[in-house]
Amino acid sequence: ETGVTQTPRHLVMGMTNKKSLKCEQHLGHNAMYWYKQSAKKPLELMFVYNFKEQTENNSVPSRFSPECPNSSHLFLHLHTLQPEDSALYLCASSQGQGAGETQYFGPGTRLLVL
Amino acid sequence: GQNIDQPTEMTATEGAIVQINCTYQTSGFNGLFWYQQHAGEAPTFLSYNVLDGLEEKGRFSSFLSRSKGYSYLLLKELQMKDSASYLCAVRDDNFNKFYFGSGTKLNVKP
- Return the DSSP state at B80: G
- Residue B41 with chain A: CB contacts under 8 Å: 107
Q: State pLDDT tens for residues B16-46.
A: 999 999 999 988 898 999 999 998 888 999 9
- Residue A90 with chain B: CB contacts under 8 Å: 42-43
- Return the DSSP state at A102: P
Record: contact A43-B87, CB cut-off 8 A: yes
Q: State pLDDT tens for residues B48-107.
A: 999 999 999 899 999 999 999 999 999 999 999 999 999 999 988 776 678 999 999 999
Compare CB distances from B42 to A90, A97, A98 and report the shortest one's residue. A90
pLDDT value at residue A1 = 66
pLDDT value at residue A57 = 84
C-alpha to C-alpha distance for A27 and A1, rounded to whole angstroms: 12
Is the CB of B80 inside 8 Å of chain A's CB atoms? no
**DSSP character string of A53-81:** EEEEE-S--TTEEEEEEETTEEEEEEES-
pLDDT value at residue A41 = 86
Which residues neighbour A59 within 8 Å (Cβ) at sequence distance 6 or greater? none
pLDDT value at residue A49 = 92
More confident residue, A19 or A54: A19
C-alpha to C-alpha distance for A90 and A28, rounded to whole angstroms: 18
B68 Cα to chain A: minimum distance (Å): 20
| pLDDT at position A30 over 80 | yes
Phi, psi torsion values for B101, nearest 5 degrees = -80, 170
Buried b (16+ CB within 10 A) or exposed e, B62-90: bbbeeeebebbbbbeebeeebbbbbbbbb
Output the average pLDDT for chain A. Answer: 91
pLDDT value at residue A51 = 87
C-alpha to C-alpha distance for A99 and A96, rounded to whole angstroms: 9
Q: For A82-104, what is the mean pLDDT?
A: 88
B window 33-72, beta carbon within 8 A of A? 33, 35, 40-45, 48, 50
Record: contact A99-B91, CB cut-off 8 A: yes
B100 Cα to chain A: minimum distance (Å): 5
A33 Cα to chain B: minimum distance (Å): 9
